[in-house]
Structure 1
């Protein structure tokens, strides 16, 4: 089961050391991994295009108490000069979401030659029409959602990590964080995705709803905006307590010129 040329301890050190987001792994997960006796790694999925190379690996560990633990590793070539980047997640769904946030991997996004306004030499009038269409879609009322299927899987910790990666100053505060400590199941939905040019560069916008089921049977949501409308083109995460606030934030980012 183990790689004959690498111990499980060495494998874990290498895996955690190269992951950009290893600090986001739950402390309980890292502590459990300290007792790993053996491991097995396999390619779970891959995608290759002229702009993006992406692969997801499944790393399974046998622990000293007889239980098992799985980490999902996302590998992609979005670093400077096409350098390989590594990210780690405890849930397959989070690895899929992370893959969808990659510049060339936004689900449903138009490519650089599809649609007005994406070509730097496009007609300014067409670009304005595209702006208006984008702003209208940002503020549009979404279709009725499908019934949620809540997953009880470390949901309170998932909420903590969503709030921790938010960079906006007006993100939900301690009251919301305290409320979400009672979350025992959650459901993630992508409700919006679009890519267009902002200040001469392609920028991607996505909106996710993280819905949580609380111990008292009530539901609450966090609205996560992921975008690359930043000065250096990096991904930025913003989190809001209401959908309309999140959509207004996307509208503001899309109008920056």
Structure 2
């Protein structure tokens, strides 16, 4: 619910400050939010278990031009068995928020760590990590500001060997895209759990050709924060995950 003592300006400032991925919001969205006159917030969905607490909130804004804009806030943290700080993420598209929520429920938290003694040994874990996934279902491309989506994926990449200017130039011609979660598992890295998820961002270009970006999202960082790495091909992305897990 909306805080009756919080102005719309204060509300937006708080959301953008708390969100780990606020830089992913497009410049157009941020500019439009700057004209917000009023807002309303409501709990959209929630999930609570012993390992994960997750809520999704819908924030609706009335803009000065009479139109409305919606932000989806994903708030998540560990349950009683897996305590961790609450983290906030913001999305301007409901499907992106749903994808992020499914990532949490299906990979980083609900899947047992492969490094546990009760699970398979390290060799089996490495084999699983590098295994070829089953054939995907036929893609259904959606024209949805795809060039801007590609720009945001490349912008959040933190790896030094991320795709360069040539790839960025080519993706300016993207007019439709499709996102698939290819892989999601949790591993023991340096004595603690770390989640790894691999996404394929497939793009259909104006000339009819197709190309993909491969995004690795993981928490194998010193402070446990989420980190995104982006690669031109799947094999490079999987090799990067192998390197991060440090399985010998």
TM-score by length of 1: 0.83
Structure 2 match to 1:58: 58
CA deviation profile, 1:167-221 (whole Å, cap 9, x unmatched): 2111100110111111122111001111122332222221100111112222111
Structure 1 match to 2:25: 25
Q: CA RMSD in A?
A: 2.6
The correspondence for 2:217, drawn from 203, 214, 226, is 226
Greater relative CO, 1 or 2 (CA 8 Å, sep 6+): 2
Measured after TM superposition, the shift of residue 41 of structure 1 is 1.6
Q: Secondary structure at the match of 1:46?
A: strand
Indicate conservation of the 8 Å contact 2:52/2:109, yes or no. no
**1:1-257 residue pairs with structure 2 within 5 A?**
4-77=4-77, 82-102=84-104, 106=107, 110-111=111-112, 117-118=115-116, 122=117, 129-256=120-247
Indicate conservation of the 8 Å contact 1:152/1:186, yes or no. yes
Q: Distance in 1 between matches of 2:91 and 2:29?
A: 10
Q: How many residues align?
A: 244
Unaligned stretches of 5+ residues in structure 1: none
Q: Distance in 2 between matches of 1:69 and 1:212?
A: 26
CA deviation profile, 1:8-57 (whole Å, cap 9, x unmatched): 33332332233233233211111111222332222111111233221111
Q: Secondary structure at the match of 1:158?
A: helix
TM-score by length of 2: 0.86
Q: Secondary structure at the match of 1:106?
A: helix
Indicate conservation of the 8 Å contact 1:199/1:256, yes or no. no
